[in-house]
Structures are given as C-alpha cells and as structure tokens.
Chain A
Amino acid sequence: MAKVLVKGNEAIAQAAINAGCQCYFGYPITPQSEIGEYMGEHLPEMGRVFITAESELASINMVIGAGTTGTKAMTSSSSCGIALMQEALSAMCCAEVPGVIVSVMRGGPGLGNIAPAQGDYFQALKGGGNGDYKIIVLSPSTVQEAIDLTYRAFHIALKYRNPVMLLADGVLGQMMEPAEFGEYPYKDPDVTQWALDGANNRPARNIVSLHMPEGEMEMLTNRIFKKYEEVAKNETTYEDYLLSDAKLVLTAFGSVARVAKAAVKRARDKGMKVGLFRPVTLFPFPDKDLHDTAKKANMILDLELNKGQMLLDVRSAVFGACPVEFYGRPAGGLLTPDMIYNKIAELYAKLENTTKTEAGVR
C-alpha cells in the first residue's frame, strides 16, 4: 500500500476502522474532535455504530457495554473528558472488559487551553480511578506509529481483556505526515468463552465489578496483577536512538521525542555522545531496559511537556544508577530543538568537567 499524507487524528480513526472497530462512542473536545467527525462520516455507511454520547461518562460506559459482548469498540477524548472516564476505567480493569481509549492531551489543569501538552501522563498511568488497576498505555510519536499502535491497541485490549489507551498530544493529532496504513496485522483471540450473548446452551455468565465475599476481591486483584506481569513480559517496547555509547541519555515520550531526536542529531554532529531512550509502552514501562541504559551512561535528562510526570517512572527505573535531570514546560509551552540542544550542551559540559575532575583526583 502506498504512503498517503494524513493528519494524526484522522490516521487514528482510519486505523481503528481498519482494525475492525465496530463502534465509536464519543463527545467532542479539542484537539481530537476530528476523530469523532471521521467516525461519524464513515462508520454508519459501513453499517457500524457511531453515537455522540451525552457525556464522556456515557461514552466510556457504552464502550463497556460493547466490550462485554466481545466487540471491538473505542472512544476518544482529551484531558478533562478523560478525567470523567476514570471510574469506568477502574471498573473495566476489575471486570476485565476490553476497550480502546484515545487520549489526545491538551493543556491543563482545569479547562486549561487547547495547546499541545503532556500533563495527563499521571492521569493515564497513575489513574484517577479507584483501587489497584493498570491500563495499558501506548505512546506514538509519529503519525505512522499512531496507526501501528492503534492496530496494536485493539489487539491487546482483546488479548488481555483490559482497557488500552493511546496517549497522544495535540501536536500529533493535528500534524500532517506521510504514512502507510497496511493491513491490520494481528489475529485476534476467540471471545466466545467469556463474552455475553445470552445464556444459550451454556450456563449464564456475568461481567461485574462488585465482589463482596471476604477475600474474593483480594484474590481477583492478585490474579489481575499476575496478568499485568504477563503484559510487561510480552509487550514492553521502547526505541533506542544512538544509545550504545551515549554518556548523556535523553528520555522523552510522544511528540517531544521527535524534537529531542533533532537536538540529539545536532549534538552528535558536534561530537557529543548523546542518545535518546523513548518508551513506546508507558505501561508496561521499560524500566529494566532503562536501568541497563542508565548503568552505562553518566546522566539522564528527562524531557516532558509538563512539570515532571514520567520523571517519577524514569527515576524509579534508573534507581540511582546515574543522576537524573529534568527539563520541561507545562500547559502548552513547547520545547524547540534549540532549547533542548542548549540544555544538552550545558549538561554535557558539566559532565565533561566532572569526569575530568574525577580523573584528576584518581
């Protein structure tokens, strides 16, 4: 299939259609409204389901309904809209209901603004829902990757019977880039063993999230956390960009990683040994790989469009193997290649100095 020039939000919508998404339930919010508009244009004519729900509470609960029947369904929203979905996301993890949620982050907190930002890393990864649960979070940094990860989101949502979130930001959602759709590459698991379709020739089934008998909820939570270990083992993904000899390792996710790459290239041209570690799966976070990378490096610089959120996961992965610095801007402030390059140059000079001093002492 040939490459086409496509906008991030529309690429996600078309990829969902290609992935066999039968239902879209959503409520408009900038900067992701094109996803709903695209679905509204295409799904009904394909005989699939499109509903503009009365709220994000409603849309995610409609996704739950579809998910309990084993049908591929999705919703998409942004920041404050995703905030409204938190109770349902926790319930989905507990009742093991599959579903795909696209979160295109805007500036926050509050209504914030509609500028691109990454302030909803905690919202996606640490949840606002109740109890012990994890949603699987995939972070694309190009339009091509948005397509590939949308395919993957639908597959692993069914595979693990868990909500999967595609965490993008306004830059990616609004940007036009050449990309190739290809075919949906996965073979999806059989759902007939658990999906609800009427108790015909089998005992009645239920998919619920209330478990009152003593010990039942603890057992269930432990079992689900075993499943998360499986997810970590099979799905953990990151990009290694010039890491093999890197003394200064940048960490960044999503659109910031693109800008970081440009800055790394420039630093390499100037002879600085700099690389980029880009987590593609945010849960499962590639902590072992990042730790191994940190052991060989002299410093980590974490870059985010927020006040330091993935930073906590970076620090916990690095676990003292080397110092971790942070550079970021919240609520719509952008990082340019120049800004990142200057930060690299500043830290790299410091690194060189300390290495020299250490050598002198020795």
Chain B
Amino acid sequence: METLVYKRPESLLKDGHFTFCPGCGHGVVLRIIAELLDEFNLQKDTIAISSVGCSIFLEKFFNLDVAGASHGRSPCVATGVKRCKPDKFVFTYQGDGDAATIGFNETIHTACRGEHITTIMINNTNFGMTGGQASATTLVGQVTTTTPAGRKAELTGYPLHAAEIISKCDGTAYAARVAITSTKNIIQAKKAIKKAFEAQINGLGYGFVEVLAACPTNWHMTPVESVEHIDKVIETVHPLGVFKDITAQENK
C-alpha cells in the first residue's frame, strides 16, 4: 500500500521554489501558512500582502493573489484591501525590520483599529535581506554588521518586544510568539497561526503572530547551531507564549 507522505498545498505554486538560504526560517512558516489556508479552504479567497525583506517575492511561492507593499507599510495596504473586500481573507507577511522597526507605528495602529487582518512577523533579529544589520529586535550583545562589537544598550537601547506590545492594543484579538525549532514547536506555531487566522475569520479583530526564525547566513552559524541559539539565547529575551487570546478570556 502506498502512503502519501508529501502533498503540496494548493496555496503554494506548483513550480514555486523557495529561494532562501539553507536553514532559513522563512520557508517553514510559508509552508505552515499555505497548509492552513488549504485547511480553511481559503486559497481562492485570500489576498496576501508582501513586504520588503527576504520574503518579498510571495507571488513566486504562493498560489494566491498578492499585493506588494513598501517597507513597513503592508498593514496599511492590508487595511485598504480588507475594507474594500471584507469577505476576503487578508494577511501580511513581514520581517522584524519591516513590522517592528520601520513599520511599527503602522503595526500598532492597525492593531488599535482592530483591523480584521492577520500579521505574521518573522523575527530573525536582524535585517536579513540587506546583509544582517541590527534591527529593533536585535538582542543586547548581538553581533551584527552595524554592531560588530555586539549591541550596546548604552548606545542603541534595548530590543523591542513586538508581540507583547501588540497584545496591549484593545483591537488585538490574538497575539503570540512562537518558534519553529522543533517538531513540537512547529505544531505549536501552526496552532498559534491557526488561532490568529480564526480571529479574522470569526470577525474578532487583529491577529499577530511573531515567529522566532533562524537567519544562519547573517548569524554566521550552521542551521543546527541557529536552532540551538534560538532556544537557548533568543527565547530568554523574546519568550514564547500567547500574550492575548480573547477567545480564551471568553471561555473563562
């Protein structure tokens, strides 16, 4: 008997190939998103908003309608799309540079307005695409191309905790930070993204999931070392957790 071990989700393109570096976190998350869109039967009813970063070519991976946004502005583009097409599923896919640095104002206001959209933010604690400069989420002590001696709090302050801040916005229905460092974590991550999607589908408000993801190239680590680094170091600064889930509060 034959067992189906791999099936390409409808929401991914047939001839699409991920162009990420080996061990990069982006591919895993894009795949999770595609699987969930299939599960919710949303492939034909979704508009994805791409952002500026290593994941910019969403239209080359997803079998979905895609609108491109300038750096940091995909929540605004998503707002415009969703307000015009309230029956469609709309999500932004952003990096930490995009959603938490240049575009954090937009992220917060989108949350406060309670827009019925979902944001997936890939936090690799640096500007991956431009060569690994420090971003707002970079850890104190982290070596990047702009902090070669490690980020010094006296000079550049402290990392921004996006999911926690977004959870404080009244329009946020769901906010969580997850990692994709183990099968267990990947299952958790998928659960969280599913919850955030449901928040939109059920008209509850803004959903935000921050995914800690590896950038082995700019971290100058192997893929295996990168995963260990996330679990042992990054999670002590950017802890995993669900910071807001209005459905859980309702159930209490």
Contact = CB atoms under 8 A, between A and B. Distances in A.
Contacts of B64: 198-199, 204
A54 B105 contact: yes
26 contacts: A23-B80, A49-B84, A53-B109, A57-B106, A58-B105, A61-B76, A61-B77, A61-B80, A62-B80, A64-B73, A64-B76, A65-B83, A65-B84, A68-B67, A69-B47, A71-B84, A91-B68, A197-B88, A198-B46, A199-B63, A199-B65, A201-B44, A204-B63, A204-B65, A205-B65, A209-B70
Contacts of B85: 69, 197-198
Given A54-B105, A54-B106, A67-B80, 20 more contacts: A58-B105, A61-B76, A61-B80, A61-B106, A65-B76, A65-B82, A65-B84, A66-B80, A88-B70, A88-B73, A95-B68, A198-B45, A199-B46, A199-B63, A199-B65, A204-B64, A205-B66, A206-B68, A209-B70, A210-B57
Contacts of B47: 68-69, 196-198
Contact of B66 (A51, A65, A91, A206): A206
A55 interface: yes
Contacts of B106: 54, 57-58, 61
Nearest to A71: B84
A208 interface: yes
Contact of A53 (B45, B66, B76): B76
B84 A58 contact: no
A65 B105 contact: no
A207 to B, nearest CB: 5
A206 B73 contact: no
B16 to A, nearest CB: 10
A30 interface: no
B83 A51 contact: yes
A324 to B, nearest CB: 39
Given A69-B84, A87-B70, A204-B65, A62 B79 contact: yes
A200 B81 contact: no
Contacts of A59: 76
A22 interface: yes
B200 interface: no
A58 B47 CA distance: 19
A59 B46 CA distance: 23
Max chain B Cβ within 10 angstroms of own Cβ: one of A54, A57, A199: A199
A51 B83 CA distance: 10
B43 interface: yes
A250 interface: no
